[in-house]
Amino acid sequence: MAGGFGNVYVFNLYVEDIISFTLNGQNSAGKIVCPSAVTTKTPYSPQQLPVSRTNLNKSQLNSSLFVQGNNSMTVDYLGQSWTATVTIPVQPALQLDLWLYVAYQQAWLFDTSGDLLQTIQYEEARFAETDGRIIIKLGSGYRRDNR
């Protein structure tokens, strides 16, 4: 707990590396490799990235931090960029750690007691195509963006 604030430990449950994890429009907080392969000696082990919590508001940020309230999250899996809103409640207290388990198309926020605080559905996805166009998934439909 640097500075007296807790962290949100972000775990990658998907089979691809998260090459960029960003919050609230700031620079990337880092990358998270895919879980280690299961062997007879090594169980399935999701990798994690600690991201600090803060008492600042979004307009005061200059790096990827979790604020209380709504946080815009972007997860980039090797060219597949997913966005969602993670809501950090007032309780548990700012000094306590939280766990965010990120999977393909959804995520879950827990406190360290194991209580589920939020089930998160991704709101939008962008997929890079070979011809330079991007497909954006909005809800149940798809729209082609010819940028």
20-54 pLDDT tens trace: 999 999 999 999 988 876 666 767 778 899 999 99
**pTM for this model (two decimals):** 0.81
Residue 2 clears pLDDT 50, i.e. is over it: no
Work out the mean pLDDT of the chain and round it to a whole number. Answer: 84
pLDDT, average across residues 65-90 = 92
Residue 74, C-beta contacts closer than 8 angstroms, at least 6 positions apart: 20, 21, 22, 23, 81, 82, 83
